[in-house]
């Protein structure tokens, strides 16, 4: 069956007259009559009783009229949706993520992206921070969350928030480390991230500032794994302050001293592609989610004095 047949069916049912229905549809009377006949033949039911006074619905016609109206409404909704999608941004984004999804508001971002730009697909890649930066710079990712202080002329950055890291030790080491100096701390086992991560850069800068190096290192590249290893008594580590405070309150770790290493969480993307519709839409969504002004292309941070 065709939509024009259903429209003729509904018009004749409403007006009860072929001539008036044809006028309302801007069709000839024979055309409307042919539509009704073809529909009855396809459905194998009689839709109208024909008489001198016009056309009235049969019992089957009354039942099927509602179904026909539902189909026509769905078709109109489809047309309206298609019209709304005209001019919509279309694209595919490879997005780097890091740390826990809640911390970077990933779920909210994806929900808004789906709602506002339904034709943009997002492919997620969980990364270590240093690798994420390199992939954005070199074209392996279209955008990524990142924390650290690296900059590069090819990488634009939207700063989102400051985070801090604290020195954490197993709870059972509290008395052992409470009054320890840096030399004594360095002699204990340390859990470190891979050398290309921002976390590693923060830790090594901290050791260097105090003229020490950790004697024993265990490598892990996941925040939750590092916290678990600390709680298990394997060694010390730098942990994100909010997580460290929660773990300390739970009695699984202890925080040493008042050392607080601050850095910035940013959303990074290739500067030369910042005007691409799909990427620009995603950057604007991130800015909106974090209550920040979306950077204009000429005002993107990190352009002046950029360094690797």
Other Cβ atoms less than 10 A from the Cβ of 206: the count is 16
Q: The CATH number of the domain where 95 resides is what?
A: 3.40.190.10
Q: Tell me how many domains the chain contains.
A: 3
| Residue-level pLDDT at 83 | 65
Name the domain boundary from 85, 101, 122. 85
Tell me the residue range of the domain where 185 lies: 163-262
154 and 279 share a domain?
A: yes
With contact defined as beta carbons under 8 Å apart, do 148 and 302 qualify? Answer: no
> Which CA distances in Å does 59 have to 49, 56, 63, 180?
10, 10, 6, 92
Indicate if the pLDDT at residue 88 is higher than 70. Answer: yes
Last residue of one domain, picked from the residues 38, 63, 85: 85
* 132-151 pLDDT tens trace: 999 999 999 999 999 988 89
Q: Are residues 282 and 135 in the same domain?
A: yes
**pTM for this model (two decimals):** 0.68
- At 3-51, the pLDDT tens digits run 999 999 999 999 999 999 999 888 999 999 999 999 999 999 999 998 8
Look at residue 304 and tell me if it is in a domain.
Answer: no
Residue 196 falls in which region: left (phi positive, over 0), alpha (psi -120 to 50) or beta: alpha
For residue 74, what is the DSSP state?
A: H
Contacts of 258 (CB under 8 A, 6+ apart): none
The confidence score (pLDDT) of residue 301 equals: 41
pLDDT above 60 for 229: yes
Residues 283, 258 within the same domain: no
Q: Are residues 289 and 271 in the same domain?
A: yes
**Judgement on whether residues 156 and 187 belong to the same structural domain of the protein:** no
Of 63, 85, 107, the one marking the end of a domain is 85
| Token pair recorded at residue 114 | 């789906």
Q: Which two tokens stand for residue 173?
A: 């080491």
Q: Return the closest-CA partner of residue 217 out of 191, 235, 196, 198.
A: 191
150 and 286 in a common domain: yes
Same domain? 78 vs 111: no
Same domain, 257 and 167: yes
Are residue 251 and residue 170 in the same domain, yes or no?
A: yes
Do 156 and 191 belong together in one domain? no
């Amino acid at each position: 069956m065709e939509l024009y047949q259903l429209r003729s069916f509904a018009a004749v049912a409403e007006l009860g007259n072929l001539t008036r229905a044809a006028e309302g549809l801007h069709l000839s009377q024979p055309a409307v009559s042919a539509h009704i006949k073809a529909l009855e033949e396809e459905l194998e039911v009689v839709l109208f009783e024909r008489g001198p006074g016009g056309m009235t619905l049969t019992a089957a016609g009354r039942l099927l009229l509602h179904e026909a109206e539902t189909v026509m409404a769905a078709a109109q909704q489809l047309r309206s949706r298609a019209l709304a999608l005209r001019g919509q941004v279309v694209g595919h984004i490879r997005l780097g993520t890091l740390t826990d999804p809640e911390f970077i508001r990933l779920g909210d971002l994806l929900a808004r992206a789906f709602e506002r730009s339904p034709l943009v697909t997002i492919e997620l890649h969980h990364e270590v921070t240093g690798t994420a930066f390199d992939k954005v710079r070199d074209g392996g990712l279209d955008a990524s969350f990142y924390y650290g202080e690296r900059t590069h002329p090819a990488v634009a950055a939207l700063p989102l928030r400051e985070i801090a890291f604290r020195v954490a030790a197993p709870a059972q080491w509290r008395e052992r480390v409470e009054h320890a100096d840096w030399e004594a701390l360095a002699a204990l086992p340390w859990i470190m991230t891979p050398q290309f991560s921002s976390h590693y850069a923060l830790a090594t800068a901290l050791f260097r500032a105090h003229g020490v190096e950790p004697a024993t290192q265990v490598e892990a590249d996941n925040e939750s794994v590092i916290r678990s290893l600390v709680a298990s008594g394997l060694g010390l580590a730098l942990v994100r302050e909010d997580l460290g405070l929660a773990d300390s309150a739970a009695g699984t770790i202890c925080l040493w001293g008042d050392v607080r290493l601050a850095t910035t969480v940013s959303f990074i993307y290739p500067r030369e592609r910042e005007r691409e519709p799909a990427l620009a839409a995603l950057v604007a969504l991130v800015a909106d989610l974090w209550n920040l002004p979306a950077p204009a292309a000429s005002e993107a941070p990190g352009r002046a004095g950029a360094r690797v």
